[in-house]
Amino acid sequence: MRDWAKCVADLDLLMQKHFTSGRSGYKIRHVVIHYNAADGTVEDVHSWWQTRTASAHYQVESSGRIGQLVWDRDTAWHAGNWAENCQSIGIEHANRPDGTITEACLDNGAHLTAALCRLYGLGRPQWDVNVFPHKHFASTSCPGEIYGSQKSAYIERAQLWYDRMTGLGDSKPESAPSAPSSDIDALAREAIAGKYGNGDARRAALGSNYAAVQTRVNEIFGGKTASSSSSVDVDALARAVIRGDYGNGEERRRRLGADYAAVQKRVNELLS
């Protein structure tokens, strides 16, 4: 996001149809969570909705990039219930084949949920109070494992971000999730593999271990050779790539940097 406080997305790719201007006198009361049933990009869902009478306000990609497709002030056609459409904001998430979403998608989707709850005065995010799965309003499996195996992780992350954005987290440092281990080298390699996200998400997930882990990450990437492949767990990175944590094409190349060639080779070996 370009601005979390004001919910300004990384990209605006606005629909010209399949939404309704305004909110028919309703106020925003809920956030409704969806998944694509595919690993879609912002551009993908914009294209899909050209021929499908549906839309949502935001798309969160597997890479974490967020696009706005319908302005918050307008009514997206997403919940399968007109009254709910008028009083809610719909967030779509890209997903893996098993219905789960990547760590980057979960973190940024939850952050967006928290930011919207804060922006519109909805209160601390809670499932079935101010945050609902699509399936609550329609007969559907949507949003997949976001409301299944990742249900707790998603809402807990949204609550963490809400607390941080509203200042509640400053007085409750014990509520921040702690890293599962104090083995700094192991944590650093997990961070490189994408397990703890980036930026503030990584800082929150690693807690008191953040500084030491980040130092170790920097050491690994700042080794004596131009390529850090010899000191990075290429197999772990390859498996993270296969899970979808590093996106595709140029996005994957950019995020993997000097390790791209070695990791992509291992990906090809694992998939062959």
Sequence ranges of the domains in the chain: 11-170, 184-271
Share above pLDDT 90 across residues of the chain, in percent, rounded to a whole number: 61
In b/e form, how buried is each residue of 165-196, taking b as 16+ CB within 10 angstroms? beeebeeeeeebeebeeeebeebbbbbbbbbb
If you count them, how many residues does the chain have?
A: 272
For residue 206, is pLDDT > 50? yes
* Whether the Cβ atoms of residue 197 and residue 104 lie closer than 8 Å to each other: yes
The burial of 239, by beta-carbon neighbours within 10 Å (0-12 exposed, 13-18 middle, 19 or more buried), is given as middle
pLDDT of residue 24: 96
pLDDT of residue 243: 75
- The whole-model pTM stands at 0.65
Architecture of domain 11-170: 3-Layer(aba) Sandwich (3.40)
221-246 mean pLDDT? 61
For residue 172, is pLDDT > 70? no
pLDDT of residue 212: 72
